[in-house]
Structure 1
Amino acid sequence: YNRIEKAGLRIIAAKMVHLTEEQASGFYAEHEGKEFFQPLKEFMTSGPIMVQVLEGENAIARYRELMGKTNPEEAAAGTLRADYALSMRHNSVHGSDSPESAARE
C-alpha cells in the first residue's frame, strides 16, 4: 500500500475475492481467442486475489507506471512487476487500461 500512496494514489476500496471462471472471462474479455486466455483464466481463478479501487489525478496512468511493463524482464527497477512478478503470465498485478475497462472490471 505504501508504494501506491507514494505514487499519489488513494485506495478507496479493497477486498479479497475468488474469481469464478465467468468473472475471469469478463475481466479479461479483450484477450478472448488468444493462446494465453485459458491459462490466464486458470491462474486467476486458482486462489483469492486482492481487488482495489484507486483514486487520484491520472490514476490509471500513474498505477500503470507503478506496475511496470507486462514482461517483468522488461519492467523498470522498482516497479511492482520487476520486484514481484514470476513471469509474463504470473506478473503479480493487473491495472485497468481505461476508465471503460475499470468500470467493466
Structure 2
Amino acid sequence: MATMATANPSQFRVDSIRSSTFFNAGRCQLSARCTAAASLRRPVVRPLRVNATQLRLTSLCHISAPLRIKESGSQERSYVMVKPDGVQRGHVGEIISRFERKGFQLIGLKLFKTPKELAEEHYGELKEKPFYGKLVDYIISGPVVCIALEGPGVVASARKLIGATNPLNAEPGTIRGDLGIEVGRNVVHGSDSPENGLRELGLWFDQDELIEWEQHMTPWLKE
C-alpha cells in the first residue's frame, strides 16, 4: 500500500508567499507597461455636445444680424439749423423728417437760444455785408433747433433738399420752396461745404452732444 505524502503547513505558507510575490511582481510589471503606453497615447478629447435649440437660435441670430457697412471716404457731416421762423411756425418735425426720409443719420439735436457772440461768429464771413447786423439780431430773437447730420455727400444733398436762398427761386418740393416766401424768413440754414460743416458743428455742439450710434437701416441704404 502506497504511503501518502504528508504536506508540511509551513511549506504551504512559503509556496503561497512565493506565488503571491510572483503574482504581484507580474501585476506591477503589467501596470508599469500600461502606464508607459498610456503616456505615449494622445489625450482623448471629449466631443462637444451642442444643444440643438441653442444651435438653431444662434443660426437665426447670425442671419438676422444687421450687416456692418464700412464708412466710405465720402462720409460727411453737416450742420442744419431751423431758424426762429421755422420754430415759431411749427415746422421742426417736418424739416427733420425730410432729412430722415432721405436716409441721413441724425447724430445731434437740440432746441437752443443763441447767444449774440455765437451768432456773430457763425455769420463772420458776412460781416461786411449790409444785412449782417439784421441777420444776427434775427437769429438771436427766438429759439432755434440745431441739427447734426451724417452721411455720404450729406452737405451737397442737404443743400438741395433745403433749396435756393431766396424761397421764390427755390424749387417746389424743397424746404424753402414749400415753406418760405422771403429771404429774411427762409426757414432753415445748411452748411455750404464739408469744411464749413465741421466748423459749424464745432460752434453749435459740444463734443459730448454728438452721438455715435449704429443705424440699422444702413444696409438698405448703401451697398
Question: Which band: TM-score by shorter chain?
Answer: over 0.9
Deviation at 1:21, TM superposition (A): 1.1
Identity value in percent: 39
Provide the residue aligned with 1:67 in structure 2: 162
- Runs of at least 5 residues in structure 1 that lack an aligned partner in the other structure: none
- Runs of at least 5 residues in structure 2 that lack an aligned partner in the other structure: 1-95, 201-223
The runs of at least 4 consecutive aligned structure 1 residues that moved more than 6 Å come to none
Secondary structure at the counterpart of residue 103 of structure 2: coil
- Show the 5 A alignment for 1:55-94: 55-94=150-189
Separation in structure 2 between the aligned mates of residue 104 and residue 2 of structure 1, nearest angstrom: 24
Counterpart of 1:12, as a letter, is I
Separation in structure 2 between the aligned mates of residue 8 and residue 19 of structure 1, nearest angstrom: 28
Secondary structure at the counterpart of residue 136 of structure 2: helix
> Is residue 114 of structure 2 the alignment partner of residue 19 of structure 1?
yes
Deviation at 1:104, TM superposition (A): 2.4
Separation in structure 1 between the aligned mates of residue 199 and residue 112 of structure 2, nearest angstrom: 16
Deviation at 1:6, TM superposition (A): 2.0
Deviation at 1:89, TM superposition (A): 1.4
Separation in structure 2 between the aligned mates of residue 35 and residue 21 of structure 1, nearest angstrom: 18
Deviation at 1:20, TM superposition (A): 1.1
Deviation at 1:8, TM superposition (A): 2.3
> TM-score when scaled to structure 1?
0.93
Query: Greater helix percent: which structure?
Result: 2
Deviation at 1:54, TM superposition (A): 0.3
Q: Contact conserved, 1:27 with 1:104, CA < 8 A, in 2? A: no
What's the CA shift string for 1:9-63, capped at 9, x where partnerless? 1211100111111100111111111011111101100011000100111000110
Separation in structure 1 between the aligned mates of residue 181 and residue 105 of structure 2, nearest angstrom: 26
Secondary structure at the counterpart of residue 188 of structure 2: coil
> TM-score when scaled to structure 2?
0.45
Structure index of larger Rg? 2
Provide the residue aligned with 2:139 in structure 1: 44
